[in-house]
């Protein structure tokens, strides 16, 4: 009986220690998404978008942690609305690319609550739409030629606000896979380049 009680106490202590090393939280973000073109000049330019998500952090030590996230992000763009001569077509246009993105980050603690973050990220495009407002009306087009999966690398810096559960992050995402072939540019491949600023709260 003593051995059984000892084993149960040991397991409960181990579980409690692990729980203390594991943090969960939510985050909200704003993105500035830009476009890199491979093989020519793109007809797209960057714009701001919104984001939100969940995260789980496992603290392996005081200096090192691993964090996984599931984030929603709008990585839209704004097509240039000019004709080949450069004349303004008097249009308002934008593209919305809605992704679920899953980064896996190594977090290295620095001084004063700061930490470095780096790791891979995979994304799934669940919706893409293009809006245009020409002189004679407006139109919405579903983007069916986009790649569903996107991947790249993330790097940035974070800050744990002292005496609170609030976290601040600034990250850069460098897409490594083309998400589409720009429709007017003869095979120009486009990749995401994204700056993400977020506020998080740990439970």
Q: What is residue 17's predicted lDDT score, i.e. its pLDDT?
A: 47
DSSP 186: S
- The C-alpha atoms of residue 27 and residue 40 are separated, in whole angstroms, by 36
Which residue intervals of the chain are DSSP H helices? 2-21
Q: What is residue 116's predicted lDDT score, i.e. its pLDDT?
A: 98
How much of the chain exceeds pLDDT 70, in percent? Answer: 67
Higher pLDDT, 178 or 101: 101
- The C-alpha atoms of residue 179 and residue 172 are separated, in whole angstroms, by 17
- The C-alpha atoms of residue 144 and residue 146 are separated, in whole angstroms, by 6
- The C-alpha atoms of residue 135 and residue 70 are separated, in whole angstroms, by 40
Q: Tens of pLDDT along 66-105?
A: 999 999 999 877 665 554 455 454 455 678 889 999 999 9
- The C-alpha atoms of residue 143 and residue 5 are separated, in whole angstroms, by 61
Q: Tens of pLDDT along 98-143?
A: 999 999 999 999 999 999 999 999 999 998 877 666 544 455 556 6
To the nearest whole number, what is the mean pLDDT of the chain? 80
* CATH of region 24-202: 2.40.160.20
């Amino acid at each position: 009986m003593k051995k059984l009680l000892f084993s149960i106490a040991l397991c409960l202590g181990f579980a409690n220690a692990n729980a203390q090393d594991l943090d969960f939280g939510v985050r909200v973000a704003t993105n500035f998404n830009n476009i890199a073109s491979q093989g020519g000049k793109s007809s797209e330019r960057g714009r701001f978008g919104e984001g939100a998500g969940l995260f789980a952090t496992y603290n392996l030590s005081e200096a090192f942690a691993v964090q996984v996230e599931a984030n929603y992000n709008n990585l839209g763009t704004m097509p240039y609305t000019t004709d080949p001569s450069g004349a303004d077509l008097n249009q308002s246009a934008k593209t919305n690319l809605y992704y679920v993105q899953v980064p896996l980050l190594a977090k290295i603690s620095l001084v004063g609550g700061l930490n470095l973050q780096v790791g891979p990220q995979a994304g799934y495009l669940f919706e893409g739409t293009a809006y245009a407002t020409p002189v004679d009306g407006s139109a919405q087009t579903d983007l069916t030629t986009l790649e569903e999966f996107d991947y790249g690398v993330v790097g940035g810096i974070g800050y744990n606000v002292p005496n609170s559960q609030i976290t601040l992050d600034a990250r850069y995402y460098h897409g490594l896979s083309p998400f589409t072939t720009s429709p007017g540019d003869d095979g120009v491949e486009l990749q995401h380049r994204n700056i993400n600023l977020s506020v998080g709260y740990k439970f």
